[in-house]
Amino acid sequence: MTMEANVLPAHLKTDLADGVFAAGCPSRTVLDHITSKWGVLILVALSEGEHRWSELRRRADGISEKMLAQTLKTLERDGLVLRKPQPVIPPHVDYSLTDRGYELTALLVPLVTWAYNNADDILNGRP
Amino acid sequence: MTMEANVLPAHLKTDLADGVFAAGCPSRTVLDHITSKWGVLILVALSEGEHRWSELRRRADGISEKMLAQTLKTLERDGLVLRKPQPVIPPHVDYSLTDRGYELTALLVPLVTWAYNNADDILNGRP
DNA sequence: CAGGATCCACCATGATACTG
DNA sequence: CAGTATCATGGTGGATCCTG
């Protein structure tokens, strides 16, 4: 019996243009943003609802203020995250997902969940 | 009308333990591997079927030999990619997905597809 | 409270050359 | 063909201090 193992079925492939493999493809830049170390965590955190700066800082354990600012700015410029300054005393800023950001996290959360569930087996060489 | 916008429904959240946000969580390491710049492309390429070293080198446009070797080694150690040296003349090596790698690409390919389809809008500030 | 600015260190990455 | 070895570098990311 001849069969090629572990090849994605056609219906999953059709949407994936060859372009993603090209060096100059814009998707590379976008992928860099959304799969960045902290980008993933921030997006997943926001998928649970609106968060303040200080909440995100605590939630994404280990992130520096610099990287939080940089990550949020990139995601905001990409139209994935919405920044809402609240002019109250004391002032704060709320971050949430845009529609496009929400669409993205629907794909991202399962990936992170999978990584979480498989991490121990993977890192310990278990099948 | 009060409603919280763009929050994932409960059934998608339940599986996602708070642990992923912890600095020491093993999933961070795994995420680093599978969301790395070249890791993503190699996994997606292999989701289309078995590839040789030289094929992967050409497919992942712009990758250096060093990065290809490093990426493949990491993915192999993680049990996501299978390495099969072919003792023929001239010799070559086939790379393919393990069952676990296949499971992963089922989640990864939609993400890459999304990035590809949205890249232009995102980078040009279109809604 | 939410950042901006600056300095610095290191590691990931790339180029090149060589080998089993 | 499929890598490994070595070296150079620059960009990512952290620490610290400062501000609206």
Q: Which chain C positions come under 7 Å from a protein C-beta?
A: 1-6, 13-17, 20
Please tell me the distance in Å from B99's CA to the nearest CA on chain A.
Answer: 7
Percentage of chain A with pLDDT > 70? 91
> What CATH class is the domain A25-123?
mainly alpha
From first to last of its 127 residues, chain B has per-residue pLDDT tens of 545 667 766 655 555 768 899 988 999 999 999 999 999 999 999 999 999 999 999 999 999 999 999 999 999 999 999 999 998 888 999 999 999 999 999 999 999 999 999 999 999 988 8
Residue A7's pLDDT is what?
77
Domain boundaries, chain A: 25-123
Helix or strand run (H / E) with residue B97: strand B92-97
Residue B2's pLDDT is what?
45
Q: What pTM was computed for the model?
A: 0.91
Residue B23's pLDDT is what?
86
Q: Which 35-64 residues of chain B approach strand C with CB closer than 7 Å?
A: 36-38, 62-64
Nearest residue on chain B to A14, alpha-carbon basis? B113
Residue B10's pLDDT is what?
63
* A window 30-69, beta carbon within 8 A of B: 30-32, 34-37, 40-41, 44-45, 47-50, 59-62
Average pLDDT over residues A90-102: 94
Please tell me the distance in Å from A63's CA to the nearest CA on chain B.
Answer: 9
- b/e sequence B26-47, b meaning 16+ C-beta within 10 Å: bbbebbebbbbbbbbbbbbbbb
Whether A98 sits with its Cβ under 7 A from any strand D atom: the answer reads no
Nearest residue on chain A to B101, alpha-carbon basis? A6
Please, what is the average pLDDT of chain A?
Answer: 89
Residue B24's pLDDT is what?
86
Residue B7's pLDDT is what?
74
Cα–Cα distance measured from residue B61 to residue B99, given in angstroms and rounded to the nearest whole number:
26
- b/e sequence A93-124, b meaning 16+ C-beta within 10 Å: eebbbbebbbebbebbbbbbbbbbebbeebbe
Residue B89's pLDDT is what?
84
Residue A10's pLDDT is what?
67
Contact between chains at B37 and A37 (C-beta distance less than 8 A): no
Residue A16's pLDDT is what?
72
User: Residue A4: which pLDDT band, with cuts at 50, 70 and 90?
Assistant: low
Helix or strand run (H / E) with residue A86: strand A81-86
pLDDT at A45 over 50: yes
Contact between chains at A47 and B123 (C-beta distance less than 8 A): no
Residue A87's pLDDT is what?
87
pLDDT digits (tens, 9 = 90+) for A53-94: 999 999 999 899 999 999 999 999 999 999 999 888 888 899
Residue B41 CA to C14 C1' — how many Å? 18
pLDDT at A100 over 90: yes
pLDDT at A11 over 70: no
